[in-house]
Structure 1
Amino acid sequence: MKIYSKSNFAIGLGLTVIGLALLGVNLWKGMTWKGICLSVLCLVLGVGVIVRSLSQHMSREDALQSKDERNQLVKLRSRGISFLWAEGFCFLFLLGSLVVRPVLGPAAVGMVTAFGVMLGAMFALELVTLLYYERKL
């Protein structure tokens, strides 16, 4: 048997090991529906990725899909929009934390700090990437 996609094989092997570990923990600690579903999901996904990495045809198909320009454009645009939405929600949660600060007292200070740091990091990251790509292009 030849491995045609080593990275996918490693991901599948990792998911399978996690699924087996979760199954072992479920058997040892007691069965829960959430644990069973999660372990079965990890096992099924892991074995599926391993099978795809061992098949020459499927590995070639995966490589072509990842290099397709349309797929790359869709991925790029979806990540950009996701980042904008994350910035907006972070800003709204920061404003909401500031509004409820008098009611919650010290508990809201941590929320304001966390959302402020996240929003600042997002703005800094956007500025750094903007400057990088302005210089590069």
Structure 2
Amino acid sequence: MARTTLALAAACAVASVAPAVPVAAAPASTAATAIVLERTGGFAGRSDTFVVDRSTVGGRTPLRAAGSAEFRSLRRSYQLRNNCCDRYTYRITVSYRHGRSKTVDTVQGAPAPRILGYVIDEVQRVGRQTPEGLTRKSAERLRVAG
């Protein structure tokens, strides 16, 4: 009995520190190999680029979510009718095996499926932030070299 209780306590401890992943992100039928997130705007008008690839610590979660059927079925763009008020704009480009890619553009606060916001948040959390003003092509070269 004590052994069963100890095993159950250990499993609960592991589950409490494991990152929450949307259920739809778990079965990834198409493996994502890299994600480049370009974030522009905001109050200060910044331009930031974040890169996640297979060597990124913590990158497995956003790569798995970006490889899900739910993410791959996203439209090309999710926008607001009124883009005022210092909102961030996002361009997320996901590279997949066999040379395929998917780019989605959105703006902060736009109505979009939860998977898009989840991937954006995870890439900002774990991604390598590249120098300000880095272009997408430069970020892609950095990903390949890094």
TM-score normalised by length of structure 1: 0.21
The structure that has the greater radius of gyration is 1
- TM-score, length-normalised on structure 2? 0.20
* Larger relative contact order (CA 8 Å, sep ≥ 6): 2
